[in-house]
Structure 1
Amino acid sequence: MAKTLIYPYQDAALPVEQRVGDLLRRMTLEEKVAQLGSRWIYEIADERGLNREWAQQRIAHGLGQVTRLAGGSSLGPIETAKLANQIQKFLIEETRLGIPALIHDECCSGFLANGATNFPQIIGVASTWAPELVEAMTRVIRRQMRAVGVHHGLAPVLDIARDPRWGRTEETFGEDPYLTTVMGLAYIRGLQGDDWSEGVMATGKHFVGYSAAEGGLNWAPAHITARELREVYLAPFEAAVRVARLASIMPAYHEIDGEPCSSSRRLMTDILRDEWGFEGLVVSDYMAIDQLRNYHKLARDKAHAAHLALGAGMDVELPSVDAYGQSLLEAVVAGDIPMEWIDRSVRRILTLKFAFGLFESPYVDPDAVSAVFDTEEQRNLAREIARKSLVLLKNEGNLLPLPKTLASIAVIGPNADS
């Protein structure tokens, strides 16, 4: 049965701050902690759609986020939209307070989903030197994500890549802080849009210096001087927050000067919020909170890892409920973690859920999905970006332009016959 009682938080005419305050006051501890976590799509859905038994076991108190609705399944766009509606219907009609879930997916060089437009890798997009193309690209990504019920994109990557040994260089805008800043701002503008109720939350990552890892090794410590950190690595993030109103940030896996980014109050609170005025969500990289225990060896157990992360300013745990689950609940009950920390993060989560239109528009129209997937206009844009991304390093023997008298040209690769 749909809820018929009207509480202040359900009244769209009231200011968001008032609605959030009313809803927060009505929530139990279990319902609040549920907002701090996420569930993989395959934890609550199977090949037939939403698995009600799993849902009743795992999201009965609500849910903060759904992880990889499209990217974690093989569904096409229309089926993805239908599954999104099933999840939101369960949360709205069968949990006590009816709070919809944010749904996140990857979208670095296109919405990572079956049937979505595939754009060039971001290092290639950067080679166009055309921020207007970046913004046009992310407008396409925004329309496709929102059409199937996704509200949160885990991009752009704002890392400054200066070590070719690092394995994620292709996700970045390259080695220059200014170019990365300009392209990053365009990316965020296109994805979030002017009206957030129709936009997709952008996520600046990886905060910060992830690409400067020792030896180019993923997760390895970074050795960055204070001035270089400010002028090179923090600069694109600061602009994203101050200029583009970035909605979310993801701290990096690694550590700087012995301090893991995922437990750094200096980064997540002192610089990000107090200095720059960031008002959005800080979301963990996948499994990063428990890595404070099993990788960095800083936390003695999951509850301690949750204490370190939440206290430093980490609002949301991705991709699934772990450190921010039962161990966090028990730590709050025992008085080891202040309720104030829980309320602080839940308030931020609810504020963004209202801002991005989840309460007024929780459902999508599956019949309208096809119109925004794989259109001629989208393919032409992807082709234009690909053409302008090409960089000629050396024209040895005047090989280019190719003569029209050539009998054949070899086209090699997985998409050669596409």
Structure 2
Amino acid sequence: MLPVLDDNGVAFRDLDGDGVMAPYEDPRRPAEERVRDLLSRMTVVEKAGLLCHAPVSVAPDGGLVDAPAGLLPTAPTTSVLRDGHLRCLSLMAPVAAGPLARWHNRVQDVAAHSRLGIPVLLSSDPRHSATENPLTSVASGGCSRWPEPLGFGALDDEELVRAFARTVRAEYTAVGIRLALHPMADLASEPRWARISGTFGADPDVVARLAAAYVEGLQGPALGPGSVAAMVKHWPGAGPQAGGLDAHFASGPDQVYPAGRYELHRDRFRPALRAGAAAVMPYYGRPVGVPGLREVGFAFDPEVVAGQLRRGEGFDGLVCTDFGLLTDSVLADGTVWPARAWGVEHLDRTERALLLLDAGVDQFGGEWCPEVITGLVAAGRVPEARLDESAGRVLTLMVHLGLFENPYVSEETAVCTVGQADFAAAGAAAQRRSMVLLDSGILPLAEGIRLYVEGVDPAVAVRYASLVDTPAAADAALVRIGTPYEAARQLPEAFFHQGRLDLPDDRRDQLVSLAATVPTVVDVFLERPAVLPEIASAADALLADFGASDEAVLDVVFGRARAEGRLPFELPRSMAAVEAHPEDLPGGTADPLFPLGHPQKG
């Protein structure tokens, strides 16, 4: 830890170790002045390091990880800090609060002993939700558990979203996470898309308002030492994936707009930008047939970034690409996951980096290759002033967040804060409120009845009813199921639940047969729309959740809590209706089983 010195009554951290308060060390000066001074002291190599945003892992005891760990590739922490001069790291590990805080302070110590003492800005994907996909979210590590963003869309409650985001802010700042790689302002217009669970749904107005409320809750009234900066994604709207296939993979690079709704998707971001979002992440997708846009990944197109985002929306914050546009990834099992450079796959990573810089991007997400950037400068293809522009945005964000004054956290505070009782209780209440009674039928069930369960922990269910082993012996049955999907054969694509939305014939018939035997309540976890007409007809009650514990579901089923949600998207009646539906049109499938907003307010 660096010494804190005094200059005429002003305390400052002596980052460069010269015993004198340099302008960039002076907490009284405006951010612009501090950044300008620091840039004048930095080498090209140091500036290039700021343009990389690398994923890192953490040892369970809080140690630094400098060797490959886990399926997905992560950067060797010590060397990218010391040799690569990286200062933006993305946390890929579900480590408990104490070890995570300890690790964070160790990382800051490594950075503090560099030539200029520039601190580290730590980011993370969502850590409070139910979906388990290491490419889009992180297991909680003890964070309070809330419904997926879809659940907030089901409630359409801006103040609840702000309260949730303030909880995220408290738990993140306690362990040193100061940049959230969320929220998503994408519209859930294509029912098959695997990432719908991270959206606020299909209602354009709801999505826009809740994304802005999320930014306000994370960042507070102004970006400052108590804030978590929000990186809104995925500009200019990642929902309309062709056939619902996700652009993480070569099987689904294209975004299509058969209903001509490109602007509808893009404009959902405007309220979040107006709320002061600190950063924006463009998506991988390659737009097809959009006038004025190139058929390349969004981040590679100057019209999308420098044009529509910076000039059109007046955004001058940080723009970071989605992860892995430059470098192919080699997974632990030897599988090669190609870089997501759709439309420019034929270019090497140097040429891709040049295109991204020309487009107006500041950081390369998921990369730790500053030598590519320094090589472009050395070859005279990128002026150092261009590096100053992007490095300056990174440094400005760090200054606003107060990292130059105090980047450290308290391990004791982290342990007390993350997952604290009131946060957990608020998350549990939101799980219950956000559920949707699609068909209330026989609900609520009477406590103490004989109950047969599937997909429910018997140790939880026994607190509500007398459990029996067979449907024939039961007064009622409760079954929890997930949204159907087609399992991909190979990782990492297997992490994504995409494809068909209807149940396999055998599972459908099994549930219909159960309902014919005993009055049956079915709860479905909707991480995207499901096609369930036979289940809706057969079940005596149908409930939807967006990430809820067994206890939360049982509380609603037995009347201890009230479900208040309304569907944040429609449930199509058939796969034929889904396949005929334009990918960019929110709602509008033929004769939906349950419409957007069901049940309507009476």
- TM-score for both structures, normalised by structure 2: 0.64
8 A contact 1:8–1:14 mirrored in 2: yes
Matched, 1:408 2:451: yes
Equivalent of residue 386 in structure 1, options 418, 431, 441: 431
1:269 aligned residue (289, 306, 316): 306
Is this contact kept in 1: 2:231–2:280, CA < 8 A?
yes
**Structure-2 separation of matches of 1:214 and 1:238:** 24
- Residue 351 of structure 2 aligns with an amino acid whose one-letter code is H
Higher helix proportion:
1
1:314 aligns with 2:345: no
- Residue 86 of structure 1 aligns with which residue? 106
The question of 1:329 aligning with 2:349 is answered no
- What is the aligned counterpart of 2:121 among 102, 108, 122? 102
* Distance change in 2, residues 1:316/1:112 (3 Å): farther
Q: Is the 8 A contact 2:81 2:110 kept in 1?
A: no
Q: Distance in 2 between matches of 1:14 and 1:108?
A: 35
* Correspondence list, 1:180-199, <5 A: 180-196=207-223, 197-199=225-227
Query: Which amino acid is the alignment partner of residue 266 of structure 2?
Result: L
Q: Secondary structure at the match of 2:392?
A: helix
Aligned-partner Cα distance in 2 for 1:328–1:21: 20
Equivalent residue for 1:375, pick from 413, 416, 420: 420
- In structure 1, the residue corresponding to 2:182 is in which secondary structure? coil
Supply the distance in 1 between the matched residues of 2:371 and 2:59 (Cα, whole angstroms).
22
Select which of 239, 244, 248 maps to 1:216: 244
CA contact (8 A) 1:128 1:385 kept: no
Q: What is the count of residue pairs matched by the alignment?
A: 407
How large is the RMSD of aligned CA atoms in angstroms?
2.5
Alignment partner of 2:79 out of 23, 45, 57: 57
- What's the offset of the Cα at 1:119? 0.8
Look up the SS of the partner of 1:392 in the other structure.
strand
**Aligned residues of 2:56 and 2:65 also touching (Cα < 8 A):** no
1:264 Cα deviation (Å)?
1.5
Structure 1, 221-230 or 133-142: larger mean CA deviation: 221-230
Q: Give yes or no for the alignment of 1:204 onto 2:247.
A: no
Asked which structure has the greater CA Rg, the reply is 2
Partner in structure 1 of residue 535 of structure 2: none
Q: Does 1:40 align with 2:59?
A: no
Q: Residue 132 and residue 80 in structure 1: after superposition, are their counterparts in 2 closer, same or farther (change >3 A)? A: same
User: C-alpha displacement at 1:295, in angstroms?
Assistant: 4.2
> Residues 56, 212 of structure 1: CA spacing in aligned structure 2 closer, same or farther, 3 A cutoff?
closer
Instruction: Please report how far the alpha carbon of residue 407 of structure 1 lies from its aligned counterpart in structure 2 after TM superposition.
Output: 2.9
Distance 1:251 1:293, change over 3 A: closer
Q: For the residues of structure 2 that align with 1:140 and 1:56, how far apart are their CA atoms?
A: 31
Read off the aligned partner of 1:288 and give its amino acid letter. L
CA distance in 1 between counterparts of 2:260 and 2:342 reads: 28
Q: CA deviation at 1:289?
A: 4.0
**What letter matches 2:36 in structure 1?**
G
Three-state SS of the structure 2 residue aligned to 1:345 is helix
Q: How does 1:109-128 map to 2 (within 5 A)?
A: 109-110=128-129, 112-128=139-155
CA distance in 1, matches of 2:239, 2:377: 35
CA contact (8 A) 2:127 2:143 kept: no
Alpha-carbon offset, residue 45 of structure 1? 6.7
Q: Distance in 2 between matches of 1:307 and 1:334?
A: 12
1:293 Cα deviation after fit: 7.7
Deviates more, 1:15-24 or 1:208-217: 208-217
Structure with the larger strand share: 2
Map 1:285-364 → 2, pairs under 5 A: 285-290=322-327, 295-298=342-345, 300-322=347-369, 325-364=370-409
1:163 matched to 2:183: no
SS in 1 for 2:255: coil
Q: For the residues of structure 2 that align with 1:59 and 1:45, how far apart are their CA atoms?
A: 17
Distance 1:375 1:57 in 2: 35
Is the alpha carbon distance of 1:388 and 1:89 closer, same or farther for their aligned partners in structure 2, counting shifts above 3 Å?
same
Give the superposition deviation at 1:55.
5.4
2:160 matched to which residue of 1?
133
Range that drifts further, 380-389 or 106-115 = 106-115
Within 5 A, what are the aligned runs for 1:172-183?
172-183=199-210
Aligned counterparts of 1:204 and 1:37: Cα–Cα separation in 2? 18
Cross-structure match for 2:277:
246
1:248-294 deviation digits (Å, cap 9, x = unpaired):
11100111131320112112111211121112111111102447785
| 1:237 counterpart residue number | 269
Question: In 2 relative to 1, CA 164–48 (structure 1 residues): closer, same or farther, beyond 3 Å?
Answer: closer
Indicate the larger mover: 20-29 or 45-54. Answer: 45-54
Alpha-carbon distance in 1 for matches of 2:182, 2:94: 21
CA contact (8 A) 2:284 2:340 kept: no
Give 3-state SS (helix, strand or coil) of 1:381's partner.
helix
Match of 2:89 in 1: 66
SS of the residue aligned with 1:240?
helix
Q: Find out whether 1:228 has 2:261 as its counterpart.
A: yes
Distance 1:37 1:392, change over 3 A: same
Identity of aligned residues (%): 29
RCO higher in structure (CA 8 A, sep ≥6): 1
Structure 1 residue 299: Cα displacement: 5.3
Relative to the length of structure 1, the TM-score reads 0.90
Q: Secondary structure in 2 aligned to 1:250?
A: strand
- State the partner residue of 1:281: 318
C-alpha distance in structure 2 between counterparts of 1:7 and 1:391, whole Å:
58
State the match for 1:21 in structure 2. Answer: 36
- Secondary structure (helix, strand or coil) at the match of 1:259 reads coil
* Cα displacement (A) at 1:411: 6.6
Q: Secondary structure at the match of 2:455?
A: coil
Q: Describe the shift of the 1:126–1:55 C-alpha distance in structure 2 as closer, same or farther (beyond 3 A).
A: closer
Letter matched to residue 121 of structure 2: L
**Secondary structure at the residue paired with 2:126?**
coil
> CA 1:363 to 1:240, structure 2 compared with 1: closer, same or farther past 3 Å?
same
Q: 1:23 to 1:253 in 2, by over 3 A?
A: same
